């Protein structure tokens, strides 16, 4: 086993970008705490097996990131099982069925904010508390989106949560810098994951109740590829490489940043 670089906790790591980040940080030399909702236990165990094969220690800490006590217990569990916390990647997020603002529901708004905004806040808070107590600094990294800089048609709740993550990240960076803790956010464009595939299927099927019912909304997916320099859809490993750098010692002087996987052409 190589020398440990630290202990990293990644939320939403049963699949997609979170899984890619967990595997990349394990290859980088981190021991890994894996999180997702409890009903994804089998997927988490599969990722854990892959990480063990890389010679790293790993534990599974299921939790709903929108629940205050569960997030606290998640962080405490990772610390108890692995011995501390050096990197928190608040990756968990959802895309609920959406539609034009005039037909959006309070339920969809609240559900989206509970995971994407409150969940990120809770992960930042409890990770920061642990890192401050340890006294050795740390890295907090959150999942925003290009939708956190450019609002997309018929995604009012999702875009608003990703703008919220961007603001939260900047404030946390200001407050935590004195403890040697950096706080940054990555902002993926279209990445090939189960979540993005579901969103694309919803946008193409206008008969799905509550999903992108306005025909104008179908343009946002194609516009992503039409208005970025690199035309293919990204892969989880592309985002994992960004997180790998932000989690490294070399990134000690970068904080409060919002890093796009690609910039839109204006």
Residues marked as catalytic = 158, 162
Closest among 200, 217, 197, 243 to 22, alpha carbons compared: 243
Closest among 36, 200, 15, 42 to 208, alpha carbons compared: 200
Q: Are 14 and 47 in contact (CB under 8 A)?
A: yes
Q: Are 9 and 87 in contact (CB under 8 A)?
A: yes
**Where do the DSSP E strands lie in the chain?**
6-10, 30-34, 58-60, 87-90, 138-143, 181-187, 258-260
Q: Which residues contact 193 (CB under 8 A, 6 or more apart)?
A: 15, 16, 17, 236
Lookup: tokens for 118: 């409150």
Q: What element of type H or E holds 71?
A: helix 68-82
**Where do the DSSP E strands lie in 35-166?**
58-60, 87-90, 138-143
- Give the Cα separation of 133 and 231 in Å (integer): 45
- Give the Cα separation of 164 and 162 in Å (integer): 5
Q: Are 158 and 193 in contact (CB under 8 A)?
A: no
């Amino acid at each position: 086993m190589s020398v440990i670089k630290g202990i990293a906790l990644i939320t939403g790591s049963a699949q997609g970008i979170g899984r890619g980040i967990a595997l990349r940080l394990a290859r980088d030399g981190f021991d890994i705490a894996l999180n997702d909702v409890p009903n994804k236990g089998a997927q988490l165990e599969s990722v854990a097996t892959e990480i063990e094969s890389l010679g790293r220690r790993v534990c599974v800490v299921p939790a709903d990131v929108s629940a205050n006590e569960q997030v606290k217990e998640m962080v405490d569990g990772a610390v108890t099982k692995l011995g501390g916390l050096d990197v928190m990647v608040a990756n968990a997020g959802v895309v609920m069925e959406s539609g034009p603002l005039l037909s959006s529901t309070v339920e969809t708004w609240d559900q989206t904010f509970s995971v994407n905004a409150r969940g990120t806040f809770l992960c930042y808070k409890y990770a920061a508390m642990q890192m401050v107590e340890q006294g050795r600094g740390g890295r907090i990294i959150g999942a925003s989106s290009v939708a956190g800089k450019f609002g997309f048609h018929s995604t009012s709740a999702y875009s608003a949560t990703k703008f919220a993550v961007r603001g939260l990240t900047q404030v946390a960076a200001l407050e935590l810098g004195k403890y040697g803790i950096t706080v940054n956010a990555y902002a993926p464009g279209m990445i090939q994951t189960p979540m993005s595939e579901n969103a694309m299927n919803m946008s193409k099927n206008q008969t799905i109740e509550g999903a992108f019912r306005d025909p104008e909304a179908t343009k946002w997916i194609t516009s992503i590829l039409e208005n970025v320099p690199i035309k293919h859809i990204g892969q989880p490993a592309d985002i994992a490489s960004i997180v790998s750098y932000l989690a490294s010692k070399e990134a000690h002087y970068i904080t409060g940043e919002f890093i796009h996987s690609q910039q839109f052409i204006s």
